[in-house]
Amino acid sequence: MGFIVEGDESGDVVLEPPPNFSMVEEGIFRSSFPRPCNFAFLQTLNLRSIIYLCPEPYPEENLEFLRSQNIRLFQFGIEGKTEPSLASLKDAIRGALKILIDVRNHPVLIHCKRGKHRTGCLVGCLRKLQNWCLSSVFEEYQHFAGMKSRSADLRFIETFDIVCLRQCLQSIIYQYQGYGSKKRRLLYGEECTETPNNFDMNEESAHNINGRNSHFSLMV
């Protein structure tokens, strides 16, 4: 179902979000694969980045939209039809998390094909980093996965070691930033210089990721 807003003289504009669209946190969204009919809606989010979790090349019409809106694409190819190796899945999720918690990439949209399994794994691991209890993490995953919930995904989320990510981030500072109500954030002063594999990024993106004195923010 789309949202209808008042348009100009040519008539109203229908804004249709992608299926499984939802806000994860302020500046972080999730959905299934956006189609051209969703582009007008995505424009309202003022996205800076998209995290794409499929191995297939991004469609040219979607790339054209990203270029027109100056949106950066970060691709982490996680297999969906066959179960990926545990090592490759860990590497992809760890790399995607590093992009996700960097506020310079916000607002950011996470998506795979259906917005269920691969997206659910990434969001689930983010929730662990935010110290959510495991039952709440699983409940959120199952809400979006529905009847197609995968036990392998839940096991991966449960066993994902967030310490390995935290060890790569230094100078952790707790700071309050107010947006109406105060929200505590984790600010990371510096990131390790390791560049995640399987990226599709431009020169500016690479500089942002590998530059020293980077700042990261994570809602807790």
Say how many CA atoms lie within 13 Å of 94 toward its Cβ: 22
Q: How many CB atoms lie within 10 A of CB 170?
A: 11
Q: What is the pLDDT of residue 165?
A: 66
Domain boundaries, the chain: 22-176
Higher pLDDT, 144 or 164: 144
Q: Which is the catalytic residue, given 54, 112, 121, 133?
A: 112
Cβ-in-10-Å burial (0-12, 13-18, 19+) of 199 comes to middle
Q: How far is 27 from 6, CA to CA, in rounded Å?
A: 25
* Eight-state DSSP code of residue 32: S
Task: Respond yes or no: is residue 112 known to be catalytic.
Answer: yes
- Whether 167 shows a pLDDT value over 70: the answer reads no
- Whether 99 shows a pLDDT value over 50: the answer reads yes
Q: What is the pLDDT of residue 35?
A: 95
- Whether 214 shows a pLDDT value over 60: the answer reads no
What number is the average pLDDT over the span 139-168?
Answer: 82
The domain at 22-176 falls in which architecture?
Answer: Alpha-Beta Complex (3.90)
3-state secondary structure of 96: helix
